Amino acid sequence: MPHDTSDTPSVSAASLVGEEYEVEVGPVAHGGHCIARTDAGRVLFVRHTLPGEKVIAKITEGDETSRFLRADAVRILAPAKDRVEAPCPFSGPGRCGGCDWQHVKPGAQRRFKGEVIAEQLQRLAGLTPEEAGWDGTVMPAEGDKLPAGQVPAWRTRVQYAIDTEGRAGLRRHRSHEVERIDHCMIAAPGVDELGVEKREWPGMASVEAIAATGSHDRQVVLTPRPGARLPLVELDRPVSVLRVDEHDSGVHRVHGRAFVRERADGRTYRVGNGGFWQVHPQAADTLVKAVMQGLMPRKGETALDLYCGVGLFAGAIAERVGEQGAVLGIESSKRAVEDARHNLDDLPRVRIEHGRVDRILPRTGITETDLIVLDPPRAGAGKQTVRHLAALAARRIAYVACDPAALARDLAYFSEEGYRVRTLRAFDLFPMTHHVECVAILEPVKKDA
């Protein structure tokens, strides 16, 4: 199954954009589309379709020299049984690119995500689901198991694009064009209540709306166009306002708090300047529970929390290893480090270091540890970092992954370094999109005596 990588069209080759092909749709692929082939054997990555369908696919990207072509299913000639009418009026070919699976029954969405995970594990790590300790299911978050045609309102952070007339919308797929909307169905109630779509935003390039789930904190982060002045922000709920500075790319407080308060695992976490926090309201607790069940921290143990953000996993582990234990967190975002130190100030056994994991970890002088949790960015941890982690001889490692391809690549590296996957769990924390979250628990391979 081809992997979703970008393709650079030839300058002189004839564009195929706009051409239409009648195709039989094959398996789902990583990236929110399915694979099909034209009669001439050209590979198409087709959105807005399902495996087994017969469709008219209209090319959206590619030319005669492209290794593959991107396309939208613009007419469905033979629908699959898992197809539903998209609930969102802004979904469909050439429309909003925020969701991939609006046209798919919820249970089938999770099944397709499971197929993608299984394919990536096999292709990139040589693992079957059984070898990965995975039952093949993708679990819905609590409250998200809804009938076909209903959409969970889960997204607590929405980045609205602003068009040249100052109206809010969302980007079209792989485009800078803005699809105006008056309501995002997957936006959490706290975001929807702000009413960003109802007003004009002159001079703004984007407006991010944040609705904390651990408190009533609401925040908007404004990104002005070059030289533009900030508008007077009057929304439907009390809200703090931040702005992205065009010169230093920093985020600065305009009025209200510079942070929102989130809550997970019985602790409150400050998240400043629009910093990273899991988007689904159930995600933080779901992932902490999966990680702690997999690691089973013991009193007095030492642990590393890599790419630690504002300290979510570091705090959870520190509570469990007790006063005789020790936890080191490493995070590259300066503001997140400040927040993590604030959030875990009551736990003197926790230390947070600022910098990139691949640079800071070797400087710590740490040669061994009991536990490791890593939640790397979408690109994964990479071979050198995996090699360093394996040398620390942790009894268990928890790998939290938002991209199954990166996870599979890193699991292959861990295997080379003597670690095997004990269990893997997958969670549908991004309904209606192709994204999925996984937690893999690794342990050293037992050597024969």
Output the tens digit of pLDDT for each of the chain's 449 residues. Answer: 444 444 555 557 899 999 999 999 999 999 999 999 999 999 999 999 999 999 999 999 999 999 999 999 999 999 999 999 999 999 999 999 999 999 999 999 999 999 999 999 999 999 999 999 999 999 999 888 888 888 999 999 999 999 999 999 999 999 999 999 999 999 999 999 999 999 999 999 999 999 999 899 999 999 999 999 998 888 888 999 999 987 767 899 999 999 999 999 999 999 999 899 999 999 999 999 999 999 999 999 999 999 999 999 999 999 999 999 999 999 999 999 999 999 999 999 999 999 999 999 999 999 999 999 999 999 999 999 999 999 999 999 999 999 999 999 999 999 999 999 999 999 999 999 999 999 999 999 987 54
The answer to whether 429 and 437 are in contact (CB under 8 A) is yes
Residue 198 CA, chain-centre distance (Å), reads 27
Burial 427-448, CB ≥16 within 10 A → b, else e: bbbbbbbbbbbbbbbbebeeee
Alpha-carbon gap, residue 94 to 132, rounded angstroms? 38
pTM flag (> 0.85): yes
The answer to whether 315 and 350 are in contact (CB under 8 A) is yes
Give the residue numbers marked as catalytic.
402
Q: DSSP of 161-186, one letter per residue?
A: EE-TTS-EEEEBTTSS-EEE-S--TT
The secondary structure element, H or E, covering residue 416 is helix 404-416
Q: What is the pLDDT of residue 7?
A: 55
Alpha-carbon gap, residue 398 to 373, rounded angstroms? 5
The answer to whether 417 and 386 are in contact (CB under 8 A) is yes
The SS3 of residue 296 is: coil
> CA 104, 108, 111, 113: dihedral to nearest 10 degrees?
10
Q: What is the pLDDT of residue 6?
A: 46
Which CB contacts under 8 angstroms, 24+ apart, belong to 420-424?
A: 420/444, 420/445, 421/127, 421/131, 421/132, 421/133, 422/133, 422/294, 422/396, 423/132, 423/133, 423/134, 423/294, 424/129, 424/132, 424/133, 424/134
- The residues, any chain, with a CB within 8 Å of residue 300's CB and separated by 6 or more, are 321, 322, 324, 325
346 φ/ψ sector (left φ>0, alpha ψ -120 to 50, else beta): alpha
Q: What is the pLDDT of residue 341?
A: 98
* Residue 155, both tokens: 């997204």
Phi and psi for 222 in degrees, rounded to 5? -95, 135
Alpha-carbon gap, residue 142 to 145, rounded angstroms? 7
